[in-house]
Chain A
Amino acid sequence: MSEFIYLYRGGGRPESPEDGERVMQAWMTWLQDLAAKGHMKDRGQPLEGEGRVVRGSNGSISDGPFAEAKDLVGGYSVIEAADLDQAAQLARGCPIFERGGVVEVRPVMKM
């Protein structure tokens, strides 16, 4: 088994409380399913939309957001899978796609 990071990008806001509940339910079901199949290493954390960007040798600091809302990373999880293909396959059930978001799947570098 190798480790992979799922970066959740975009996905929009719920339109109503009912809608929010649906979104949440769908995510929890999907994540529970991954956990039940032994692929969940760490459920990860959600990230704030705001932040700072530090760059250059002079250490200039600017305010986020860093990209358009649709590209913003809203959270991450750590997954275990046999290989990149399987990790990508497992991401296909993610509810983020219903809201136009994407999952970026990145292998954790092995030492």
Chain B
Amino acid sequence: MQPEERLFRSEWGRLVTALTRIFGLDNLAIAEDVVQDVFCRAVEVWKLRGVPENPSAWLMTSARNRAIDLLRRERKARSLVPELRRQFESEWTLVPTVAQFFTSGVMEDDQLRMMFSCCDPALAAQTQVGLILNLLCGFSVAEIANAFLTKYKAMEKRIARGKAALADSKTLFDFDDEELPVRLDAVHRAVYLLFNEGYHSSSAPAAVRMELCREAMRLGRLISGNAQLATAQTYALCALMWLSAARVPGRMDAAGELLAFADQDRTLWDRQLIAEGTAFLERSAFGPEASTYHWEAAIACLHARTPDWRDTDWGKLVWLYDQLLQVNSSPVVALNRAIAVGYRDGPRLGIEAIEAIPHGGRLERYPFLPAALGEFELAAGRPQAARSHFERALSLARTPLEQRFLERRVLAAAERSAQSEIVDGVVGANERAG
């Protein structure tokens, strides 16, 4: 039997969390060591003997037994989680107490509580995401550094600082805490960051990016499955992730090259994800205010439910971007709005709208701004202007993939420009002849 895909990754977080509940947040390192050990043994045994029928149960039993061994040995030496010490001291209660932390409802809740612990407001958002990836998603420090294009040493320091902060609180975050709403916002932001890093990152390898998206979605599902945490924003965030992920399969052609949005094969989009995402979006429509997640999800939904690019409701799209800009005034959002204006009102007005965006900041070196200008110049019949925009975009390309994509656009503009010269030449000759 082949191991289930990503089995180890998702099991890692479940086991680390369950063991942290037992040993306390200040003994996180013990929990991690135990899980590391369990995994190494699993690899040693399974690589020769094959994966067992229920690998997840095998790992859980193994982790539980190691925890019990450890508690027996450390009973006197260490003061573990104070409120559990009495249960751990007696042989009668030790085994059932430990076992209870490995039952399914409890494990899901504890993972959520771990997520909330990681989103300590004292920590930078990037550190929160790093901790979540490390503790709940089983990413090594090297893998996180790779995903975020950070130096290994810097990421190692950041995660160590994060873990030190966690240790101060000793026990996992409690949902009765009055800080819950604030933390929930931070949890949403962390999951959103995680997803975007996977979905939009220009740097990380494609496989890593998909992995980040998958993990963000797994955590999103976990949050939305908890009655106390399933707020309108939670549903909107899930809708946004599902409806975006549904469109990943069309983003590249058979040769693995980037495709322009208009050229994507929409039949490749994942219908099930679209259906689930739409259901999330419907459930998100309650509460007093629409968040950035709501509007982004609505935009993703508009695309996902338009089978042909040419049928896009550009007017509605511009309106949605206007709403989004009210709650999220990012320059990239402004650029996307301007592009929608161009498709609604024609290339000339699109160019004007792009030029009207306040300059500076991230957009200054964003290759898809000149690329958008190039597309509209091309549509307006000025291939030479288009070509120089595409060349500018090409000079800003951040990855080989973007570079090859923009090279093809430069070439397309150059060809069009050559054709129009021939046409001009023929027209000119005819005029002279006439």
Contacts and interface: CB of A to CB of B under 8 A. Distances in A.
Interface string A7-43: 0000001111111110111011001000000000001
B3 A24 contact: yes
**Chain A, interface size: which category?**
20 to 34
Interface stretch (B47-55, B103-111, B364-372): B47-55
Interface in B136-150: 138-140, 142-143
A75 B42 contact: no
Interface stretch (B8-16, B78-86, B118-126): B8-16
Contact of B49 (A17, A21, A43, A74): A43
Given A14-B39, A15-B140, A16-B138, A21 B3 contact: yes
Interface in A32-80: 43-46, 74-75, 77
Contacts, number: 68
Of the candidates A14, A16, A23, A28, the one having the most CB atoms from chain B within 10 angstroms of its own CB is: A16
Of the candidates B36, B42, B47, the one having the most CB atoms from chain A within 10 angstroms of its own CB is: B47
B327 interface: no
Nearest to B35: A17
A4 B191 CA distance: 52
A21 B47 contact: no
Contacts of A44: 48
A24 B46 contact: yes
Nearest to A46: B44
A46 B39 contact: no
A59 B138 CA distance: 46
B57 interface: no
Interface of B: 2-3, 6-9, 11-12, 36, 39-40, 42-51, 138-140, 142-143
Interface of A: 13-21, 23-25, 27-28, 31, 43-46, 74-75, 77
Given A15-B142, A18-B139, A75-B44, 9 more contacts: A16-B140, A23-B47, A24-B3, A24-B42, A24-B43, A24-B46, A44-B48, A46-B44, A74-B44
